[in-house]
Structure 1
Amino acid sequence: MADVARRVGVSRALVSLVFREQPGASDETRRRVLAAADELGYRPDSAARLLARGRSRTIGVVLAVRQTFQADLVESIYPEAERLGYDVLLSAGAPGRDERKAVEALLSHRCEALVLLGPLAGTARLDELGRRSAVAVVGRAARGARVDSVRTAEAKGVNQVVGHLVGLGHRRIAHVDGGRGPGAAERRQAYRTAMRRHGLADAIHVVPGAHNEEAGSAAGRLLLAGDHLPTAVFAGNDRCAMGLMDTLDRAGVAVPGEVSVVGYDDSHLSHLSHIDLTTVRQDAVRMAEHAVRFVVERLDDAALAPREAVLDPKLVVRGTSAAPSAPH
């Protein structure tokens, strides 16, 4: 800023007024200051200015780098944060970089609040983070921890899936488990409950899995090796469903002609015409908005009791589910 002031021949205080868009400088002076700053490559350090006031106005977001639905959430976090006057800093968990490292990196960059997308941390760890910062968890319950949470009513979504498949005439409906993934335990339990409700307790078949394509492929190979293929499979999420469909396709099993497949998330990839996946839509926009508002409100009032927003899902029927090819 001092360099710009010397170039223009004005005081540093006047340059500061220009960059803060405050009155006190003529239009001509503003033009000269901005031109000089451009020539010198100077940009105001807004982060330093905020830190000098004891604030960073930055929300840190932790995500899993390969989860497409989490990318959809991030897309919606940005506009809501900007609307409320906050910047967003991302930190990803990836092979060789666990969730704890991703969180600590954001805290070391002085993020005022954290939004954790589908975290794997236990209640004690989440509670510890909630006492260090304003925290919102997205995609799972966080009861017992001093954090806010936003999630989908998993049981409602799974009930819609099983009801849809039973209505088409399916009876042998398998579920590829999501492992430790966000919402997986709730979806697994809801699947078992829904199958019993429809009188299909004897047909319950849970295949071990995870929320990725590799797990879907492995589940597909396991099902193909069995004595009888199910007529329908409810996958733990869309990525798992895509891996499953790829394996079935390579084995010459038609989807949905021989096996219907349903996913969960309604991530942007499921909309593609060559995938056309029947799936459960989670409202990424509303989930992101709730999470951002929760942490901003907690920054204003740290004494707020933990809050939970539970949003309704919606089954989206596309081309991967149909009536079974023959009575079963």
Structure 2
Amino acid sequence: MADVAEKAGVSRALVSIVFRNQPGAGQETRDRVLRVAEEIGYRPDNAARLLARGRSRTLGVLFTVHQPFQADLVEGIYPEAERYGYEVLLSATAPGRDEGQAVEALLAHRCEALILLGPLSDPDRLDALGRRAVAVSVGRRVRDASLDSVYSADNKGVRQAMDHLAELGHRSITHVDGGRDPGSAERRRAYRAAMRRHGLETEARVIPGSHTEDAGIEAGRLLLAERDAGTPLPTAILASNDRCAMGLLMAFARAGVDVPGEVSVVGYDDSHLSHLMPVALTTVRQDAVLMAEQAVRFAVDRLDDATIGVREAVIDPKLVVRDTSGPPAFR
């Protein structure tokens, strides 16, 4: 500001008034100060100004780089944070960089609240984090912890997918689960419950997996090897998420298996990935924008009032029927 003041021929205090848009400077002076600032490349350090007031007005977001649905959530967080006057700072987990490191980086940058996308940490660690800072878990319900949660009603989403497959006539329906990934336990339970409800308990099968393409490819290879050994393929597969479904589609395409002619495949998330596949994926849509908006509101509300009790927002999912599901072939 001293450089701007010297070149514009005004006091530093007057430069401060102009950049804070406060009364006390004429329009001609304002224009001259702003023109000089532009010429020398000066920008007000809003972060420093906020920190001087004891605020950063920054929301930290923990995410995983290779999860497309989390990218959709991040995309929804930005406009809602901006609407409340907050900046967003991202910190990713990666090989060699666990959630603890990613979270500590956000806190070190003085983020006022944390939005955790699909956190994998155990409940005790998340509870401890919620006591240290304002935090919101997205995509995972964390029971008895000191942080708010925003998640999808996975039981309803799986029920819609399973009802769709049963109504098409499928009886041999396999589930490739998500292992320890967020939402997997709920989806696994909902799958087993739906098979019982449709009288298909004896047909139920869960193949261990994860929320990755590799898990889908491995499950596809397993089923193809069993087919080659004399065990028929299931007529339908419910994948743990869209990435897993994409892996299944890749494995089947390489083996010449027709989807949905021989096997129907249903994903979960309706991430942008599901629209990029050669065959449009039938999947369960989680409303990323609504979940993101709710997470930001929870964080901002708690920053404004620390006495608010722990809250949960459960968002209803919706089945989106596309090209990878159809009636079973006659055998």
- Tell whether the 8 Å contact from 1:118 to 1:139 is kept in structure 2 after alignment: yes
User: 1:290 is matched with which residue?
Assistant: 294
What stretches of structure 2 of length at least 5 have no aligned partner? none
- Tell whether the 8 Å contact from 1:114 to 1:133 is kept in structure 2 after alignment: yes
CA distance in 1 between counterparts of 2:314 and 2:5 reads 54
CA distance in 2 between counterparts of 1:308 and 1:137 reads 9
Number of equivalent positions = 327
- Tell whether the 8 Å contact from 1:157 to 1:313 is kept in structure 2 after alignment: yes
With over 3 angstroms needed to count, the CA separation of the structure-2 counterparts of 1:210 and 1:273, relative to structure 1, is closer
Give per-residue Cα distances to partners, 1:83-106, cap 9 Å, x unaligned.
Answer: 001000000111221111111100
- The answer on 1:299 being equivalent to 2:300 is no
- 1:33 shift after superposition: 0.8
State the secondary structure of the residue aligned to 1:254.
Answer: coil
After superposing on structure 2, the runs of 4+ consecutive aligned residues of structure 1 that deviate more than 2 Å are: none
User: 1:85 is matched with which residue?
Assistant: 85
- Tell whether the 8 Å contact from 2:151 to 2:314 is kept in structure 1 after alignment: yes
- Tell whether the 8 Å contact from 2:212 to 2:244 is kept in structure 1 after alignment: yes
1:11-50 mapped onto 2 (5 Å cutoff): 11-50=11-50
User: 2:238 is matched with which residue?
Assistant: 234
State the secondary structure of the residue aligned to 1:128.
Answer: helix
CA distance in 2 between counterparts of 1:18 and 1:243 reads 57
- Tell whether the 8 Å contact from 2:124 to 2:145 is kept in structure 1 after alignment: yes
- Tell whether the 8 Å contact from 1:269 to 1:275 is kept in structure 2 after alignment: no
- Tell whether the 8 Å contact from 2:219 to 2:248 is kept in structure 1 after alignment: yes
- Tell whether the 8 Å contact from 2:60 to 2:115 is kept in structure 1 after alignment: yes
User: 2:326 is matched with which residue?
Assistant: 322
Give per-residue Cα distances to partners, 1:165-188, cap 9 Å, x unaligned.
Answer: 010010000000101111001000
- Structure 2 residue corresponding to 1:281, chosen from 268, 271, 285: 285
User: 2:262 is matched with which residue?
Assistant: 258
User: 1:125 is matched with which residue?
Assistant: 125
Identity %: 69
Aligned AA (1:276): A
CA distance in 2 between counterparts of 1:62 and 1:122 reads 15
Aligned AA (1:143): R
User: 1:248 is matched with which residue?
Assistant: 252
Give per-residue Cα distances to partners, 1:271-315, cap 9 Å, x unaligned.
Answer: 236230000000111100110000101011112110000011100
User: 2:95 is matched with which residue?
Assistant: 95
Aligned AA (2:246): M
- Tell whether the 8 Å contact from 2:177 to 2:184 is kept in structure 1 after alignment: yes
CA distance in 1 between counterparts of 2:13 and 2:134 reads 35
CA distance in 2 between counterparts of 1:220 and 1:18 reads 64
- Tell whether the 8 Å contact from 2:8 to 2:32 is kept in structure 1 after alignment: yes
Q: TM-score, normalised by structure 2?
A: 0.97
- Tell whether the 8 Å contact from 1:233 to 1:259 is kept in structure 2 after alignment: yes
Aligned AA (1:74): V
CA distance in 2 between counterparts of 1:129 and 1:216 reads 33
- Tell whether the 8 Å contact from 2:246 to 2:277 is kept in structure 1 after alignment: no
CA distance in 1 between counterparts of 2:323 and 2:94 reads 32
CA distance in 2 between counterparts of 1:222 and 1:189 reads 22
State the secondary structure of the residue aligned to 2:269.
Answer: coil
What stretches of structure 1 of length at least 5 have no aligned partner? none
User: 2:108 is matched with which residue?
Assistant: 108
CA distance in 2 between counterparts of 1:119 and 1:275 reads 31
State the secondary structure of the residue aligned to 1:59.
Answer: strand
